[in-house]
Amino acid sequence: MPLTIITTIKEMQDLSDTLRKQGKTIACVPTMGYLHAGHASLIKEAVKSHDIVITTIFVNPLQFGPKEDFERYPRDTERDKNIIEASGGSILFYPSIDEMYPPDYQTTISVTNISKSFEGAFRPGHFEGVATVVAKLFGATKPHTAFFGQKDYQQTLIIKQMVHDLNLGICISIVPTLRESSGLAMSSRNVYLSDDEKKQALVLHSALSEGHSLIEHGERKRAKIEQVMHDILATCPEFTIQYASVAEADTLATPDIFLENKDLVLLIAGFLGKTRLIDNMLYLSKS
Ligand code: PAF
């Protein structure tokens, strides 16, 4: 089936209403475009369990800081359309900035506590931008389920919290991060990295893996786990650490000592040259 492309909110809502009346299940895969295999895996996962998969492409100005890469964020919609089709997606929702934020636009959504730390501390306003646009994309596409990558771990928690708090009644499905064979987490921003930087970026995965292995061996002191991560990251002087930390997976709380039976998440962010990289790894407790 050729890809149906929709650019207005009204048309998108009407189509979703019609599909719902026909008893179809709808999945939404929100993206900012410049799709890679990680996005394709989200679409393919959504296709497995839903009749209709709507991929959205919108580079959301609201979630970029004034000094961030909104203007130069990579864009290639023709290539994206092919990736969506090849992955089994049937609809592309591709609104303009004016369509999403007309001149009289006034509302933002703020998920307070869980937005404060980690990414929220280094990117003020970012998560308000994310929560706001995701709520609007949900309002436009009216999905039963929405799919997000684990790569943006804190974002997934914030979206789940928003859906819960605002009674949106949408199921949020998280798909594991897809990695290059080297271990580098797939990201649209990897296009900014030189070949040398791509090799240097592997230090993030090494630090996460080492921290993870320490936890598996029973370590629960946060400072110890973080020290190991910092030591490994320090072997790559080109990488400037913003945070390399471990937190409770469901709340992002950071007690000095974690309880044995808690699921944990290791989180890293920083700059390699001019490119900001983030990555994470989950530790799921056996109990
Ligand atoms: O993860 C992303 O690509 C974006 O933050 C999202 C969820 C599409 C909102 O703009």
Q: Which of 42, 43, 60 to mutate to test the pocket of ligand 1 (most atoms within 8 A of CB)?
A: 60
Q: Which domains does the chain have, with CATH numbers?
A: 4-175 (3.40.50.620), 193-275 (3.30.1300.10)
> Which of ligand 1's atoms lies nearest the C-alpha of 149?
1
d(CA 48, CA 287): 30
Expressed in angstroms and rounded, the spacing between residue 53 Cα and the centre of ligand 1 is: 16
User: Mean pLDDT in the chain?
Assistant: 97
d(CA 63, CA 65): 7
- For ligand 1, whether the C-beta of 174 sits within 6 Å is no
Strands 264-272, 275-283: pairing is antiparallel
Residue with CA nearest ligand 1 atom 5: 130
pLDDT in tens, 199-235: 999 999 999 999 999 999 999 999 999 999 999 999 9
Expressed in angstroms and rounded, the spacing between residue 129 Cα and the centre of ligand 1 is: 9
pLDDT in tens, 31-90: 999 999 999 999 999 999 999 999 999 999 999 999 999 999 999 999 999 999 999 999
- For ligand 1, whether the C-beta of 154 sits within 6 Å is no
What pTM was estimated for this model as a whole?
0.97
- For ligand 1, whether the C-beta of 152 sits within 6 Å is yes
Expressed in angstroms and rounded, the spacing between residue 126 Cα and the centre of ligand 1 is: 10
Expressed in angstroms and rounded, the spacing between residue 130 Cα and the centre of ligand 1 is: 6
Residue with CA nearest ligand 1 atom 3: 31
- Distances 135 to 39, 89, 167, 182, 282 between C-alpha atoms, Å: 20, 21, 11, 35, 26
Residue environment code for 138-154, b if the CB has 16+ CB neighbours within 10 A, otherwise e: bebbbbbbbbbbbbbbb
Name the 3-class secondary structure at 6.
Answer: strand
Across the range 125-138, mean pLDDT stands at: 98
Q: Is the pLDDT of residue 287 over 90?
A: no
- Distances 54 to 17, 22, 41, 230 between C-alpha atoms, Å: 13, 16, 14, 40
Residue environment code for 199-213, b if the CB has 16+ CB neighbours within 10 A, otherwise e: ebbebbbebbebbbe
